[in-house]
Amino acid sequence: MDAVLSFLISAGIMVFGLWIITCSIEAGSPIGFTLMGILPVAIGSISFYGAICEAKLAWNVARS
């Protein structure tokens, strides 16, 4: 349950960043807003990677 919640939170952060990027490009906003959208995508990706590593570790411990 914790792993699923962790994956969903990470995916939500990434989708939020993609939404910011998409809306700023569509509206013709300055490049600063687009670059600010990259920050949540990067943070969400790092968080998602951490959740995957944690799930793999838990899976390996459970199999042992």
How far from chain centre, in Å, is Cα 22?
16
The rounded distance, in Å, linking the Cα atoms of 4 and 16 is 18
pTM: 0.81
The rounded distance, in Å, linking the Cα atoms of 63 and 47 is 24
pLDDT for 11 equals: 94
Does 54 reside within a domain? yes
Does 64 reside within a domain? no
For 16, the domain range is 2-58
Domains in the chain, number: 1
Whether 61 shows a pLDDT value over 70: the answer reads yes
Q: What digits encode the pLDDT tens for the residues 23-54? A: 999 998 888 888 899 999 999 999 999 989 98
The CA–CA distances, whole Å, from 32 to 21, 37, 40, 41, 57 equal: 10, 9, 14, 15, 38
Does 13 reside within a domain? yes
Does 63 reside within a domain? no
Half-sphere exposure of 23 (CA within 13 A, CB side): 9
pLDDT for 8 equals: 93
